[in-house]
């Protein structure tokens, strides 16, 4: 069981292992969150408005708090503002807090540095009459982020940050804002190590949070030969290698599971050596980059070299 804590640039502590809740279905996720907090000693839950399951995440949190398994002060909860709420940050936070049953979150993130029409034909994914996504040309990331800064100053969020930010996005944003993002939450694993972005964030005091550490739905990376080999060497599970890749590198990792056994086993940690980490970070040189989450609506809009 890992109890690794990291520090945010706000001075706050963040548990390095968090439970991912993207694609966790209603009907499953409340029990998964409760199990993680009560039985597997997770102290960190990563949520988002767009996952449309925050209400259940909140039920799981409530059960764990009511059972006395963890205190609110020890628990770390994250939520995010979706592109269709880019000019309604306060409203998005109100909704998320209501859903989660909390009066503050520990971390509040720009989910994607993209803007959709906030008054379109759908609250999340508005489309134009031709069926294509209804972007908002007036989207202004700096303005959106400044609205997150307001919430940070109000105390309803203890830290703020961003997701899916490339070096290009951060170089544009950083000179224009007051509060350096505490984190950049990105897809990260040995098949998408993004070494330059990781170094850039480290040099600016921005903690990296790795999402889809197993390669997202179905955990495709668990079947890759290099990962299986390393798991054999350490007499552990492939998932432990992929999770420990981040934990051994001083990053936050957010594996998603709704299965109690896998939630338990994902909390295992093996300390990987410098050589193991270099081997993992070089797989991409042999095998090529693989990004598992590439929503079409973000194509060409984020400034990642591979996307």
List, by residue number, the catalytic residues.
51
- Give, in order, the Cα–Cα distances in Å from 29 to each of 19, 53, 81, 118: 10, 7, 20, 28
Interacting stretch for ligand A2P, rule CB under 6 A, among 1-9, 62-70, 198-206, 208-216? 208-216
Q: Are 190 and 281 in contact (CB under 8 A)?
A: yes
Rounded to an integer, what is the distance from CA 141 to the centroid of its chain? 19
Distance CA(148)–CA(142), nearest Å, equals 10
**24 and 258 in contact (C-beta within 8 Å)?**
yes
Q: Which of 9/293 has CB closer to ligand A2P?
A: 293
Binding residues for ligand A2P, rule CB under 6 A, total 19
Per-residue CA distances from 184 to 62, 166, 200, 204, 234 (Å): 27, 9, 11, 11, 30
Q: Which of 9, 265, 268, 282 binds ligand A2P (CB under 6 A)?
A: 265
Q: Is residue 217 a contact residue for ligand A2P (CB under 6 A)?
A: yes
Stretch that binds ligand A2P, among 46-54, 108-116, 190-198, 249-257 (CB under 6 A): 249-257
Residue 102 vs 263, nearer CB to ligand A2P: 263
Using the rule CB under 6 A, is 239 a contact of ligand A2P?
yes
Of 159, 213, 249, 280, the residue at the interface with ligand A2P (CB under 6 A) is: 213
Q: Which of 15, 18, 20, 115 forms a contact with ligand A2P (CB under 6 A)?
A: 20
Single out the residue of 231, 235, 167 nearest to residue 199, CA to CA: 167
Where along the sequence are the contacts to ligand A2P (CB under 6 A)? 20, 212-219, 222, 239, 255-259, 262, 265-266
């Amino acid at each position: 069981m890992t109890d690794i804590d990291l520090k945010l640039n706000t001075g706050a502590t963040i548990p390095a292992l968090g439970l991912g809740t993207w694609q966790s279905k209603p009907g499953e996720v409340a029990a998964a969150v409760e199990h993680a907090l009560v039985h597997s000693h997770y102290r960190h839950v990563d949520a988002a408005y767009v996952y449309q399951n925050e209400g259940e995440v909140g039920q799981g949190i409530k059960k764990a708090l009511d059972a006395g398994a963890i205190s609110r002060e020890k628990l770390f909860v994250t939520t995010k503002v979706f592109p269709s709420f880019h000019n309604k940050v306060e409203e998005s936070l109100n909704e998320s807090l209501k859903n989660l049953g909390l009066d503050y979150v520990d971390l509040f993130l720009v989910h994607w540095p993209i803007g959709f029409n906030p008054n379109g034909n759908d609250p999340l994914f508005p489309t134009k009459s031709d069926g294509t996504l209804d972007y908002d040309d007036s989207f202004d990331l700096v303005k959106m982020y400044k609205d997150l800064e307001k919430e940070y100053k109000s105390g309803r969020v203890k830290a703020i940050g961003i997701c899916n930010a490339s070096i290009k996005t951060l170089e544009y944003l950083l000179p224009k804002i007051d509060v350096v993002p505490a984190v950049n939450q990105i897809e990260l694993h040995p098949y998408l190590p993004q070494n330059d972005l990781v170094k850039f964030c480290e040099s600016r005091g921005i903690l990296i949070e790795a999402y889809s550490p197993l390669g997202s739905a179905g955990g495709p990376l668990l079947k890759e030969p290099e990962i299986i080999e390393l798991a054999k060497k350490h007499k552990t599970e492939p998932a432990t290698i992929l999770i420990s890749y981040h934990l051994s590198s001083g990053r936050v990792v957010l594996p998603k599971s709704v299965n109690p056994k896998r939630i338990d086993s994902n909390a295992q940690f093996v300390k990987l050596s410098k050589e193991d980490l270099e081997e993992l970070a070089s797989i991409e040189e042999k095998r090529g980059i693989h990004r598992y989450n590439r929503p079409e609506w973000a194509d060409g809009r984020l400034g990642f070299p591979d996307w």
